[in-house]
């Protein structure tokens, strides 16, 4: 029986996985068939190794495919002679696996000695590519794991030189070279030393730009779920569930598979989801997403580490999340490029956006956890939390009323600049411990700017819509009410909540109820 898989390579015969056929076809047609050298650099756990495996399976009938990894090759980088001999041993093993003639394999097993080991390695490559009956493709996974950049850059320089000579008809070398890793090869220096002057002198400037989208679309996710449905007959709406998973993940491969794995293996059979058909619902997927975010993982551990290593990137993300700051998307900007490399950032309508909803909520949780211990509001909530849950359901009206009371007591005299910058952070600090462990929340990115934010809370299948905004007069407030009503219509909810931060000298604060467009709105002004 197949299973959902999130560690290591996914194998079609053993694991439920998205059909990579179209992506593989594109890579072969647009890159490998053209003899291109290129780099697949994507964030951690983005399916790079699985993609290389799928490529190898497809190519093995027409090419000699040498597929090696530098994941555990740290000892190769003691010096250049050690490196080339280690690499030669790996290539010899791959040639034997490809059933290349033993006379060629034995040549690779002979130790490289002398003053110019890299040049000798280059001669071996020429000999191989001249004698082999098929064209040779080299794949190197974890290419950015090298502990000594200069040695690896020297190797890339040799490949570059042979590539250029091949183009001029003066050498024989690998038909195509694929390097896979998190970092683009030209950014290796910045990976190892975040505070070092950035150097972009990589010899990998021969590489073709790689534009294949490796994220999963909702349709691709649906294809995987349909395969599951055909085997288990749980009666799921594969298209609807895939759309929901995509909303949370934006197609990030690990997150897609992990949500499915948790739903299938951890939630199915529990008290809330007794049977598999119970978990393949909106409620089940929401619960799986919450479980994913609550668990420690190497992906989230790496997120914490990267933010600590790059404090300027961390401040940029905090400004986007809490202050509604906007940045034009310019990947030549080093901070933005790093954020994209790690999967934290993406481009949306020409602007910088957070990579996906799960990362966004995880980042909110992380940043809020760093300040909650020193926050008076957070200390109050830790004492009063239980009163907001009645018969197992969140009482959002009471949350808003109590927030008004506590806010006036603690922040009522704060100046405008403080609240404008901290308003949404203060509210989320109040909200998070109330729903923590049972409910989810996320920020609607389409409406987030310096003056407005929509928060959607999902608590045991029931949704609550809260709009946060800066008070800019009655007319602006009425537009806010209309926008909120439109949002309530979209979500099929009858009641919404409007929280306004008013900085007028003669401001009128308080709580009132209004009916707008047939919807009930509780307005709180502080």
Q: Tell me the mean pLDDT per 10 residues along the chain, length 526.
A: 93 96 98 96 95 97 96 88 95 96 95 93 97 96 75 92 96 97 70 51 84 97 98 97 97 98 97 96 94 94 95 95 89 92 94 95 90 63 76 93 88 68 82 85 68 83 88 71 85 91 77 91 92
Residues 171 and 50 in one domain: yes
- The pair of three-digit structure tokens given for residue 150, joined into one six-digit string: 């200069």
Instruction: State how far the Cα of 32 lies from the Cα of 63, in Å rounded to an integer.
Output: 10
Residue whose C-alpha is closest to residue 119's, from 75, 171, 168: 171
Q: What is the pLDDT of residue 190?
A: 47
Q: What is the pLDDT of residue 147?
A: 47
Q: Strand 37-41 relative to strand 63-69: parallel, antiparallel, unpaired?
A: unpaired
- Number of other residues whose CB lies within 10 A of the CB of residue 315: 13
Residues 399 and 525 in one domain: yes
- The pair of three-digit structure tokens given for residue 312, joined into one six-digit string: 């300027």
Residues 393 and 523 in one domain: yes
Predicted TM-score (pTM) of this structure: 0.89
Instruction: State how far the Cα of 411 lies from the Cα of 178, in Å rounded to an integer.
Output: 56
Residue whose tokens read 């290539």: 91
Residues 110 and 229 in one domain: no
Task: Look at residue 308 and tell me if it is in a domain.
Answer: no
- Number of other residues whose CB lies within 10 A of the CB of residue 278: 17
Which run of H or E residues covers position 322? Answer: helix 311-323
Instruction: State how far the Cα of 20 lies from the Cα of 39, in Å rounded to an integer.
Output: 18
- The pair of three-digit structure tokens given for residue 40, joined into one six-digit string: 């697949």
Q: Using the 8-state DSSP alphabet, how is residue 465 labeled?
A: E
Task: Look at residue 460 and tell me if it is in a domain.
Answer: yes
Q: Using the 8-state DSSP alphabet, how is residue 208 labeled?
A: B
Q: What is the pLDDT of residue 119?
A: 96
Residues 280 and 162 in one domain: no
Supply the CATH number for residue 119's domain: 3.40.50.300
Residues 31 and 96 in one domain: yes
CA angle 97/102/108 to nearest 5° reads 80
Instruction: State how far the Cα of 336 lies from the Cα of 179, in Å rounded to an integer.
Output: 22
Is residue 392 within 8 A of residue 473, CB to CB? The reply is no
- Mapped onto helix, strand or coil, the DSSP state of residue 66 is strand
Is residue 100 within 8 A of residue 170, CB to CB? The reply is no
What are the helix and strand counts (H, E) for the chain? 20, 16
Task: Look at residue 232 and tell me if it is in a domain.
Answer: yes
Burial 138-152 (b: 16+ CB within 10 A, else e): bbbbbbbbbebbebb
Task: Look at residue 67 and tell me if it is in a domain.
Answer: yes
Residues 62 and 155 in one domain: yes
Instruction: State how far the Cα of 148 lies from the Cα of 70, in Å rounded to an integer.
Output: 12
Query: Domain ends where: 295, 315, 334?
Result: 295
**Domain span holding position 228:** 218-295
Residues 39 and 182 in one domain: yes
Task: Look at residue 323 and tell me if it is in a domain.
Answer: no
Instruction: State how far the Cα of 511 lies from the Cα of 342, in Å rounded to an integer.
Output: 43
Q: What is the pLDDT of residue 231?
A: 96
Instruction: State how far the Cα of 124 lies from the Cα of 132, in Å rounded to an integer.
Output: 12
Number of domains in the chain: 3
- Mapped onto helix, strand or coil, the DSSP state of residue 101 is coil
Q: What are phi and psi of 516, to 5 degrees?
A: -140, 125
Is residue 163 within 8 A of residue 206, CB to CB? The reply is yes
Which run of H or E residues covers position 376? Answer: helix 376-384
Residues 62 and 105 in one domain: yes
Residues 183 and 228 in one domain: no
Task: Look at residue 142 and tell me if it is in a domain.
Answer: yes
- The pair of three-digit structure tokens given for residue 36, joined into one six-digit string: 């291109």
Residues 179 and 243 in one domain: no
Q: What is the pLDDT of residue 193?
A: 55
Is residue 126 within 8 A of residue 173, CB to CB? The reply is yes
Task: Look at residue 80 and tell me if it is in a domain.
Answer: yes
Task: Look at residue 184 and tell me if it is in a domain.
Answer: yes
Q: 328-334: long-range contacts (C-beta < 8 A, 24 or more apart)?
A: 328/352, 334/190, 334/198
Query: Domain ends where: 145, 177, 192?
Result: 192
First to last CA, the chain: 57
Query: With the C-alpha atoms ordered 403, 404, 406, 412, is the resulting torsion angle positive or negative?
Result: positive
Q: Using the 8-state DSSP alphabet, how is residue 388 labeled?
A: G
Instruction: State how far the Cα of 526 lies from the Cα of 86, in Å rounded to an integer.
Output: 67
Residues 223 and 128 in one domain: no
Close Cβ partners of 366 (under 8 Å, ≥ 6 residues apart)? 303, 304, 307
Query: Domain ends where: 153, 175, 192?
Result: 192
């Amino acid at each position: 029986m197949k299973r959902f898989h999130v560690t290591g390579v996914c194998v079609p015969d053993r694991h439920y996985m998205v059909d990579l056929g179209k992506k593989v076809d594109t890579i072969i047609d647009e890159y490998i068939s053209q003899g291109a050298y290129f780099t697949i650099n994507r964030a951690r756990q983005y399916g790079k190794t699985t993609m290389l495996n799928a490529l190898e399976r497809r190519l093995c009938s027409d090419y000699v495919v040498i597929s090696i990894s530098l994941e555990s090759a740290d000892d190769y980088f003691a010096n250049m002679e050690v490196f080339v001999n280690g690499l030669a041993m790996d290539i010899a093993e791959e040639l034997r696996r490809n059933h290349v003639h033993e006379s060629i394999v034995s040549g690779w097993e002979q130790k490289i000695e002398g003053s110019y080991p890299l040049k000798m390695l280059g001669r071996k490559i020429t000999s191989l590519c001249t004698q082999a009956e098929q064209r040779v493709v080299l794949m190197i996974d974890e290419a950015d794991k090298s502990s000594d950049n200069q040695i690896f850059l020297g190797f890339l320089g040799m490949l570059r030189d042979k590539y250029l000579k091949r183009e001029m008809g003066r050498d024989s070398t690998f038909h195509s070279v694929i390097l896979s890793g998190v970092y683009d090869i030209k950014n290796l220096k910045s990976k190892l030393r975040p505070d070092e002057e950035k150097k972009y002198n990589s010899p990998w400037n021969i590489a073709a730009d790689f534009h294949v989208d490796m994220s999963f679309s909702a349709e691709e996710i649906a294809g995987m779920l349909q395969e599951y449905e055909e085997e288990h007959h749980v009666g799921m709406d594969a298209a609807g569930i895939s759309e929901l998973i995509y909303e949370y993940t934006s197609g990030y491969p690990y997150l897609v598979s992990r949500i499915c794995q948790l739903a299938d293996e951890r939630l199915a059979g529990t008290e809330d989801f007794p049977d598999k058909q119970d978990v393949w619902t909106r409620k089940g997927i929401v619960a799986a997403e919450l479980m994913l975010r609550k668990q420690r993982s190497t992906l989230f551990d790496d997120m914490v580490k990267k933010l600590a290593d790059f404090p300027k990137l961390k401040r940029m993300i905090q400004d986007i999340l809490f202050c509604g700051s906007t940045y034009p998307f310019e990947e030549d900007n080093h901070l933005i490029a790093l954020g994209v490399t790690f999967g934290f950032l993406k481009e949306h309508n020409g602007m910088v956006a957070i990579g996906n909803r799960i990362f966004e909520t995880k980042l909110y949780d992380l940043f809020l956890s760093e300040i909650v211990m020193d926050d008076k509001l957070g200390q109050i909530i830790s004492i009063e939390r239980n009163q907001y849950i009645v018969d197992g359901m969140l009482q959002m009206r009471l949350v808003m009323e109590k927030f008004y009371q506590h806010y006036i007591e603690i922040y009522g005299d704060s100046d405008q600049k403080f609240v404008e910058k901290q308003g949404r952070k203060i509210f989320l600090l109040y909200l998070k411990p109330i729903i923590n462990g049972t409910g989810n929340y996320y920020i609607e990115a389409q409406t987030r700017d310096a003056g407005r934010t929509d928060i959607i809370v999902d608590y045991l299948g029931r949704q609550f819509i809260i709009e946060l905004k800066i008070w800019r007069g009655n007319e602006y407030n009425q537009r806010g009410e209309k926008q909120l009503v439109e949002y309530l219509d979209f979500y099929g909810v009858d009641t919404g909540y409007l929280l306004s931060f008013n900085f007028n000298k003669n401001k009128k604060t308080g709580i009132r109820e209004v009916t707008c467009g047939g919807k009930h709105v509780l307005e709180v002004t502080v």
